[in-house]
Amino acid sequence: DQQVKQNSPSLSVQEGRISILNCDYTNSMFDYFLWYKKYPAEGPTFLISISSIKDKNEDGRFTVFLNKSAKHLSLHIVPSQPGDSAVYFCAASAIGGAQKLVFGQGTRLTINP
C-alpha cells in the first residue's frame, strides 16, 4: 500500500525555467509534509516542509504547495539551476510529525543547460 506516491519517475527542465514536482498521498491522517533532495552516494537532505494548517510555504527558490482536499502537494523550483539536478523525495507524517516519515518513490530531476 503506497501511501505517498510520486508518479513521475523523472523530469527534465531547462535551466532558468520552473521545475514542478508532484506528490499525492492517500492517508488523511498525514498532517506534515516534507521534501528531501538526494545526490548519488549521499543520504537525502531536508529541503522544505509544510504543515497541514498551511497551503503554501516558500524558502528562496523553493515553494511547496499543499492541496488538502485533493491530497496533493507540489514543489516548485524557480529558477531551476544545474545544481538542482538530483532525486527529490516527498515525505509525510501523522500526529503532528511525531510518527515515522513515509516516503514516495522519488523523482529524478535533470536540469539542462
Q: Which residues bind another protein (CB under 8 A)?
A: 4, 6, 32, 34, 36, 41-46, 49, 51, 89, 91, 93, 95-106
- Pick 15 or 46: Cβ nearer another protein: 46
Pick from 95, 112, 91: which is nearest to 21 by CA?
91
Q: Which residue has the cell 515515522?
A: 100
CB 102 to another protein: min, Å:
7
CB 43 to another protein: min, Å:
3
CB 54 to another protein: min, Å:
12
C-alpha–C-alpha distance, residues 105 and 55, integer Å: 23
- Pick 45 or 67: Cβ nearer another protein: 45
C-alpha–C-alpha distance, residues 69 and 76, integer Å: 19
In sequence order, the β-bridge partners of residue 35 are 48, 90
C-alpha–C-alpha distance, residues 105 and 107, integer Å: 7
CB 42 to another protein: min, Å:
5
- Pick 22 or 79: Cβ nearer another protein: 22
